[in-house]
Chain A
């Protein structure tokens, strides 16, 4: 029994030894649509993310209902007609970092990530280059950007007058992740 307690104690202490698990403190996701007649951004400050450097796991998601484009009417149309957030409230990415990260270098480091991006009920294999910056206070800054084709995720744009959204959006994420206490 004493041996078992020792084993349990050792296992319980394991995460503290690594302390390589990070979770978002603040996270922003922005999409940009540019057309000749109208350009606009959609922004959410509710990006949630998790990063485990021990096994290189990355897991981010966003509540799509939190995206704001600056015009409530457009937001409502986006939620109801494009993203169908009542059925598919989240977009997310799960994957692995495939490049080493040196936490002792407090400067931006390029990282390559592979995994699955899901949006509007469609999951697609996804490869992404981003930047990861270890900061002196122990937190990590994660930045990435990529183009997103709406048709890849079965998102149709109604043919409406005056208001246009580009078929291809530019996505940017920026998040600060802080170490998680065991």
Chain B
């Protein structure tokens, strides 16, 4: 009889209990947001992607060494390099890009594929991406100069990053660079380890760090690239202001063509730079 009363109770209450639509998340285990604010820390790429139908425009500047003092207005009288870039999201995971830098009039084309995204539950513990770059030195050549293929270099850079807390994210980016015609005595193949970190101290502000020591094949007269960055995120723009040891604004030139150490005869050697990253939408969503 007890069972009968239980059934009666359920039948009476069922419509009332069922009257509410249970609140359930559409995706229970979401990817974490904002491992980094943008698709680069300073110069090195992060695991963040350009989403489908988004066009990301980037303008990167780096000036002369700040230790020139007031005479050179701490390097601002001499802009060393500028890179203009466009990246477009073909899908949420795959983006294609093109950029042009002043140094050696380098034109680079690239892809970025985000393979894994860290989830809130930790079921996917880190985000993983792959960047591939093909770049050309497009300076005018004279007869006898290396051909176009010999003036190319390639970069393959997988990255793994983890957002450890709302504030702290870390990234490792082992990097392979292939120069098709390096200067005499230099290696064709350069291997480096990019290390990046970001400390977010407010909703829209962060400081970052990137360091990319070459572990094998370092070209003569080069030093490990390093930069500290200050990031401002505004919903459509991300601005970086940075102090960098190098004047390269693509991966290969930053990692393998940084020609001054952090300290030179006891004096720090840094360059001031800034990036403007702006995202537009092309098409519907």
Contact = CB atoms under 8 A, between A and B. Distances in A.
Interface of A: 1, 4, 7-8, 11-12, 14-15, 21, 23, 38, 43, 46, 48-50, 52, 55, 57, 59, 61, 63, 65-66, 68, 70-74, 76-81, 86, 89-90, 92, 158, 160-163, 165
B21 A8 contact: no
A161 B237 contact: yes
A97 B41 CA distance: 53
Contacts of A86: 120
B19 A15 contact: no
Contacts of A65: 25-27, 30
Given A50-B21, A65-B25, A80-B203, A163 B4 contact: no
A163 to B, nearest CB: 4
A160 B23 contact: no
B203 A81 contact: yes
Interface stretch (B7-15, B70-78, B104-112, B174-182): B7-15
A8 B8 contact: yes
Interface string B91-130: 0000000000000000000000000000010000000000
Nearest to B52: A72
A48 B24 CA distance: 10
6 contacts: A1-B4, A12-B11, A57-B19, A72-B51, A80-B33, A89-B23
Contacts of A21: 15
B206 to A, nearest CB: 12
B25 A89 contact: yes
B234 A11 contact: no
B54 to A, nearest CB: 7
Given A11-B11, A74-B235, 6 more contacts: A50-B20, A72-B54, A73-B233, A160-B234, A163-B236, A165-B235
Interface of B: 4, 7-8, 11-12, 15, 19-21, 23-27, 30, 33-34, 37-38, 51, 54, 120, 203-204, 232-239, 279-281, 285
Contacts of B8: 4, 7-8, 11
A10 to B, nearest CB: 10
A65 B24 CA distance: 11
A1 B1 CA distance: 9
B11 A163 contact: no
Contacts of B235: 71, 73-74, 77-78, 160, 162-163, 165
